Amino acid sequence: MILQNAEIVTRDGVKLADVTVENGRIAKISSCPRATKRDELVLDCRGLTVFPGLIDMHVHLREPGFERKEDIASGSRAAVKGGFTQICCMPNTDPVIDNKVVASYITARAKEVGLCKIHPIGAITKGQRGEELAAIGGMKAAGVVALSEDGKSVQNSKLMANAMLYASDFGLKCLCHCEDPALSDGASVNEGYYSTLTGLKGSLRAAEDVMIARELLLAESLDLPVHICHVSTYSGVQLIREAKARGVKVTAETCPHYFILTDEAIKNFDTNTKVNPPLRAEKDRLAVIEGLKDGTIDCIVTDHAPHHADDKNVEYALAAFGISGLETSFALSYTALVKTGLLTPAQLAEKMSGAPAKILGLEGGELKVGAPADLTVVDLNEKWTVEPNKFVSKGKNSPFGGREVYGKVKYTVVDGTIKYEEQTA
C-alpha cells in the first residue's frame, strides 16, 4: 500500500511525503513521488494529514458484564472511527479483570473482533475491593500492560505501596484514579458557584488532590514510576509539576472535557456533563491547558465511559458518571488545542500517540520506517457537528452534542490494513 501526497506528522514537524507500507510496517517515507507498482493499493491523501496511529490508554469497554453499555466489538468500532489504532481497557468490569482468565478473555475477544489493538489493564486489588493484591504475575503473562483501580483509589496506603513494588517487579505501572471517598462523599459535581446554584452536592478539589499527593509521595519514597489519571484540578497540575521538577517518575493524563468544559455546563442539569472527577472551574481548565503545554501533563486520553440511556435519563444525583469519548476526542483536541495555536500538530501527536506508547512500553506511537503501519488519516480542514445519536459506540452520552469541530478521520490503518474508512453517502 502507498499513501500518496500526505502531510505526515513526525517528531520534527509536518512534511509532504509518500508513505509505503509493506508487510504491516512502514517500509519507506519519501518526499519524491515514485511510480506505483502493479497490485499496489494507492490511497490518495492529497489534502489529508497522516498522524501516527492514535493510542488511548484509558478506555472503558464494559465487557464482560455490562454489555448493555458497550462491548468489545462496539467499543472497537468506536475506537477506529475515532482514529485509534490501540486502546487500553480498564478493569472495572464484572467480573473484574483481576486474574489471567479475564485478561486472556479480553485479548482473545479483541483479536476475534480484529479492528484496533486492545490491551487490558489489570485491577490492583482482587475484585477492586481494596483488600488484597490481585494476581499480578498471571495477568502480566496474559497481556495486561498496566494496573489500575480506576473508578476509585486504593485507600490503604500500605497496600498501594506494595502494589507499586509488585507492579514494578513485573515491569508494570500503576495508573491512579485519585479520589478520597470521605471527601467526595457521594457528590455529583465540583464544589463551587455552580454546585450552590444548582443545589447539587459538590466535591472539593482536595478530594482529588490529596490522593494525587499520596501517590506522588509513595512513588518518590519508593523511587518507582506512577501515572496519574484524568487530572482535573489546577492544584493537581501544580503538585505534578513540582514532583516532576524534583525528579519523581510521574506521568499524567487529562481528557478533552477537562480542557474544554467547566462546571458551568452543569447548570441545565444535563446528566451528560456528570463525570468523575467532575468538571471544574475556569481556573482549573486553564491550568490543565498550561500543564499540557509545559509537559506536566504527558498525554490526552478519553476516559471513554459509555453508559446506557437508562443510566443517564434519571435525576442528576442518581445518574452514572462518564462521557462517551472515543468518537470525538481527536477533533475536540485538535480544535481546542491546535486550531487555537496552543499546541503544534507534532505536539498533539505526542499527546495522543507517542507519550502513551512510551508510558506503557507499547510498540508504535511514531511515524518512522520500521514501525508498525498504524496510521490515522484525517482531513484537518473538515468542519463537522458532533451528533451523539450517530455514535457507533453504544454510549451516546456526550456533553458535546451540537458542537462544531475540525478534523475528520478518513482512514484508520492498523498493521497496514484499513480498519476504518469514512463512508460518504
Residues found near ligand DOR in the complex (CB under 6 A): 60, 92, 150-151, 177, 275-276, 303, 305, 321-322
Closer by beta carbon to Zn ion, 49 or else 153? 153
Distance CA 352, CA 246 (A): 26
Measured CA to CA, the distance from residue 319 to residue 1 in angstroms comes to 47
269 binds, among ligand DOR, Zn ion, none (CB under 5 to 8 A by kind): none
The identity of residue 212, as a single letter, is: I
Sign of the torsion angle spanned by Cα atoms 364, 367, 368, 374: positive
Nearest CB to ligand DOR, comparing residues 325 and 365: 325
* Nearest residue (CB) to ligand DOR, 122 versus 322: 322
Paired sense of beta strands 202-203 and 84-89, if any:
unpaired
The three-state DSSP-derived secondary structure of 396-408 is CCCCCCCCEEEEE
**How many CA atoms, within 13 angstroms, populate the side-chain half-sphere of residue 210?**
14
**Residues binding Zn ion (CB under 5 A):** 150, 177, 303
Question: Smallest distance, Å, CB 152 to Zn ion?
Answer: 8
Binding partner of residue 257 among ligand DOR, Zn ion, none, CB cut-off 5 to 8 Å per kind: none
- Looking at beta carbons only, is 227 or 410 nearer to ligand DOR? 227
Q: Which three cell numbers stand for residue 107?
A: 485479548
CB of 217 closer than 8 Å to CB of 226: no
| Residue 357 interface partner, choices ligand DOR, Zn ion, none, CB cut-off 5-8 Å depending on type | none
**Contact assessment for residue 9 and residue 50, using Cβ atoms and an 8 Å cutoff:** yes
Least distance between ligand DOR and beta carbon 211 (Å): 12
What is the spatial distance between Cα 382 and Cα 371, in angstroms, rounded to a whole number? Answer: 28
Which of the residues 303, 310, 374, 415 is marked catalytic?
Answer: 303
Q: Least distance to ligand DOR from the beta carbon of 308, Å?
A: 11
Rounded to a whole number of angstroms, the minimum distance from the CB of residue 171 to Zn ion is 23
Between 83 and 306, name the residue whose CB sits nearer to Zn ion: 306
The number of CA neighbours under 13 Å toward the Cβ of 237 is: 24
Reduce the DSSP state of residue 223 to 3 states and report it: coil
Count of Cβ atoms closer than 10 Å to residue 104 Cβ:
18
Answer yes or no: 303 catalytic. Answer: yes
Please report how close the Cβ of residue 322 comes to ligand DOR at its closest, in angstroms: 3
**Catalytically annotated residues:** 303
